Amino acid sequence: MLEFAGINWEAYGVSMDIPVITLDQLPELVPARMLNEYVYCPRLFFLEWVDRLWSASADTAEGDRRHQRVDAGGGAVPLPDEGEVKAARSVELSSERLGIIAVLDLLEGTGESVIPIDTKKGRPSPDGTAWEADAVQVCAQVLLLREQGYAVDRGELFYAETRQRVVVPITPELVARTMEIASSARALATRPVPPAPLQSSPKCARCSLVGICLPDEMNLLAARQDAKPRRLIAPDSDSVPLYVTEPGTVVGIDGGRLTVSKHREVLASVRLLDVQHLCLYGNVQVTAQAMRDLLSRDVDIFHLTGGGWLLGLTTGLPSKNVMLRIRQVTAAARGTWTRHGR
């Protein structure tokens, strides 16, 4: 019986014959940031790393803004026998032995040793220490630095909300916990379905993937909770469709705004972030630059005749939901697809 979250999925037509991923089929290196996600919520780790699902939110946008300065570094840093480290940003390190890869926000030298400093948008735990998920991520960075020959005795976290640094002592217990998390995360990634959602967790309300994860709904279906689902509202985009119907116009991009021009005269200009999708009627062109920016923001472009008949669709890469793709290919190979109404 194929069971996930306490539900017999065979009863819903889901086949047991789902290929299982083995450890040697996974990427060799787990990002340290994904170890953070695993500690925070194993299901979130699975959805992001295995299924490659992502949804932006106010929190993720703020996190990106906080990282703009630290991400601007070139990542160059001298090796231990090449010179003294002063300060370096966006330093990428990896280790096949540890099975971990990481990009360090900031690496500071203190003479004979170095300190990795990771930036977080929030605040430390109520007792002033680092959250476990953050401590594990920094510990992974320390282990990578030691693997490269650097002397490191601690890591630090900079919490932007309170603008304070919190020291993370690298104890044997934290090292053991970090390696345990790395091993458990890789093992979890081989499962054919994600783990069950957290139950009534306050973490869910702020999670950007709550509209994809559906924690309360899944737990209710599996009879893992009696309470009614919380009103966890998935974000609703404020963007709207843009219709261009004037023949002979050209849709371009200028400073983050879509422009509609004809004979070099700008007829309209709208912010790109306000556009949900673009509909082109008849003889309307779109520049390569505008198309690239639209696709990078997952904005689809619909091509229609002047009378409104749909001719085609230009869209970006589809979701990398790995397990869904495996099931689709398996079903197609066995001829189980049906064409409704034919």
Q: Residue 270 is part of a domain; what is its CATH number?
A: 3.100.10.20
Q: Are residues 183 and 267 in the same domain?
A: no
- Number of structural domains found in the chain: 2
Strand 114-120 and strand 30-31: pairing?
unpaired
The letter for the amino acid at 276 is Q
Task: Give the residue numbers spanning the domain of 51.
Answer: 18-195
Residue 203 falls inside a structural domain: no
pLDDT of residue 321: 65
What is d(CA 99, CA 179) in angstroms, rounded to the nearest whole number? 9
pLDDT of residue 12: 41
Residue 264 falls inside a structural domain: yes
pLDDT of residue 7: 45
Q: Are residues 163 and 268 in the same domain?
A: no
Q: Are residues 65 and 181 in the same domain?
A: yes
Q: Are residues 151 and 58 in the same domain?
A: yes
Beta-carbon count within 10 A of 333 CB: 8
Q: Output the six-digit token pair for 335.
A: 């001829």
Residue 336 falls inside a structural domain: no
pLDDT of residue 28: 78
Q: Are residues 178 and 38 in the same domain?
A: yes
pLDDT of residue 340: 45
Q: Are residues 182 and 118 in the same domain?
A: yes
List the pLDDT tens digit at each of the 342 positions of the chain.
444 444 444 544 444 454 555 555 566 789 999 999 999 999 999 999 888 887 765 555 555 555 555 555 556 677 777 777 888 888 999 999 999 999 999 999 887 889 999 999 889 999 999 999 999 999 999 999 999 999 999 999 999 999 999 999 999 999 999 999 999 999 898 887 888 898 888 888 888 888 888 888 888 877 776 667 676 666 667 789 999 999 999 999 998 999 999 999 999 999 998 999 999 999 999 999 999 999 988 899 999 999 999 999 999 876 666 666 676 677 776 665 444 444
Q: Are residues 48 and 190 in the same domain?
A: yes
Contact at 8 Å (CB) between 203 and 41? yes
Sequence-distant (6+) residues with CB within 8 A of 283 are 247, 248, 306
Q: Are residues 94 and 161 in the same domain?
A: yes
pLDDT of residue 191: 83
Q: Are residues 185 and 244 in the same domain?
A: no
Residue 12 falls inside a structural domain: no
| Backbone torsions φ then ψ of 115, nearest 5 degrees | -130, 120
Residue 87 falls inside a structural domain: yes
Q: Are residues 25 and 159 in the same domain?
A: yes
pLDDT of residue 13: 45
Residue 340 falls inside a structural domain: no
Q: Are residues 95 and 165 in the same domain?
A: yes
pLDDT of residue 316: 85
Q: Are residues 142 and 82 in the same domain?
A: yes
**SS3 of the chain:** CCEECCEEHHHHCCCCCCCCCCHHHCCCCEEHHHHHHHHHCHHHHHHHHHCCCCCCCHHHHHHHHHHCCHHHCCCCCCCCCCCCCCEEEEEEEEECCCCEEEEEEEEEECCCCEEEEEEECCCCCCCCCCCHHHHHHHHHHHHHHHHCCCCCCEEEEEECCCCEEEEEECCHHHHHHHHHHHHHHHHHCCCCCCCCCCCCCCHHHHCCCHHHHCHHHHHHHCCCCCCCCCCCCCCCCCCEEEEECCCCCEEEEECCEEEEEECCEEEEEEEHHHEEEEEEECCCEECHHHHHHHHHCCCEEEEECCCCCEEEEECCCCCCCHHHHHHHHHHHHCCCCCCCCC
pLDDT of residue 26: 64
pLDDT of residue 178: 96
